[in-house]
Amino acid sequence: MRSYVHGYSEKESCRLAAQAGTLTELLHGDTAYPAGSRVLEAGCGVGAQTVTLSRSSPGAQFDCMDISAASLDAARRMAAHEQLANVTFRQGDIYHLPYRAGSFDHVFVCFVLEHLADPLRALAGIRRVLKPGGTLTAIEGDHGSYYCHPKSRAADLAVRCLVRIQAEAGGDALIGRRLYPLLSGAGYAAVAVSPRMVYVDASRPALVDGFTRKTFTAMVEGVKAQALAMRLIDEQTWNRGIADLYRTTAPDGTFCYTFFKGIGARP
């Protein structure tokens, strides 16, 4: 479990919840499943997206699966607290999905493929559990899409640490740009990928706080100990990089990041 780059701490659960709140409309606004659909959320984690899924599609039935028992416990508590009636949880491995072929009308994966050493194999396995004509929806970020004003070499280096740590753990923090070839390569049909860009300036104070500060910069800050232990950066450069990321939240600063959302159908 240690290879999950963002860790499993309480603080991290808060970050994921804040992220989900800020980005809900941008990422999930166009996802709704018909009543009666059976939907798998593969890699649901602590349930950060589950509440949105459940509420956007009240007539669908969600099977939410994750490899981490601790995350599932948190997700179950969240679902009980939010009184989600159309959600069940189950532990399982995304490479060996514990479902028969053709079990689902739709599958949803969000911020999961970036952590996998072999996303193509996972996507092929997901295809197997879809009914013919059923769809996969995948949402991923791409840390290479980040840029800001004022520009900062130290901030770039700090962000690059996150990319390298995720690569070291077997993942790919630059996977957003690869969604199209991954879904196509895994045998999905009618693949359509759309970018979801987050642009932040002082006229968008909710994003300044909710995205630049509490989502992106908090995520980078979360790997400080690992980055220093792995000697990817010296502490002075790191601290300056983090300070420069916060500097972009000043009235004359701007910040950019892009998520990618891909949809494909089982032929």
Q: What is the four-CA torsion angle of 148, 229, 10, 62, rounded to 10 degrees?
A: 70
- Give residues 151-170 in contact with a second copy (rule: CB under 8 A): 151
Binding flags for a second copy, 200-219, as an x/- string (CB under 8 A): -xxx----------------
- Give the orientation angle of helix 235-247 with respect to helix 153-168, to 10 degrees: 110
Nearest to 110 by CA among 199, 213, 221, 23: 23
Considering the complex, state which of residue 67 and residue 120 has its C-beta at the smaller distance from a second copy.
120
Considering the complex, state which of residue 78 and residue 191 has its C-beta at the smaller distance from a second copy.
191
**Do residues 157 and 237 lie in contact, with contact meaning Cβ atoms separated by under 8 Å?**
yes
**Do residues 216 and 6 lie in contact, with contact meaning Cβ atoms separated by under 8 Å?**
no
Indicate whether 177 belongs to the interface with a second copy (CB under 8 A).
yes
Considering the complex, state which of residue 47 and residue 253 has its C-beta at the smaller distance from a second copy.
253
What's the token pair of residue 111?
């911020």
Considering the complex, state which of residue 6 and residue 178 has its C-beta at the smaller distance from a second copy.
178
Binding flags for a second copy, 134-153, as an x/- string (CB under 8 A): --------x-xx-xxx-x--
**Do residues 166 and 172 lie in contact, with contact meaning Cβ atoms separated by under 8 Å?**
yes
* Dist CA 150 CA 154 (whole Å): 11
| Owner of token pair 């959600």 | 87
Least distance in angstroms from the C-beta of 202 to a second copy: 7
- Give residues 247-266 in contact with a second copy (rule: CB under 8 A): 251-254, 256, 258, 260
Considering the complex, state which of residue 41 and residue 142 has its C-beta at the smaller distance from a second copy.
142
Indicate whether 178 belongs to the interface with a second copy (CB under 8 A).
yes
Indicate whether 246 belongs to the interface with a second copy (CB under 8 A).
no
Considering the complex, state which of residue 76 and residue 177 has its C-beta at the smaller distance from a second copy.
177
Exposed e or buried b per residue across 2-25, where buried means at least 16 C-beta atoms within 10 angstroms of its C-beta: eebbbeeeeebbebbbbbbebbee
The gap from C-alpha 135 to its chain's centroid, in whole angstroms, comes to 18
Indicate whether 124 belongs to the interface with a second copy (CB under 8 A).
no
Q: Which stretch binds a second copy (CB under 8 A): 35-43, 66-74, 76-84, 187-195?
A: 187-195
Exposed e or buried b per residue across 219-230, where buried means at least 16 C-beta atoms within 10 angstroms of its C-beta: bbbbbbebbeee
Least distance in angstroms from the C-beta of 80 to a second copy: 39
Site residues for a second copy per CB under 8 A: 142, 144-145, 147-149, 151, 174, 177-178, 180-181, 184-185, 191-195, 197, 199, 201-203, 251-254, 256, 258, 260
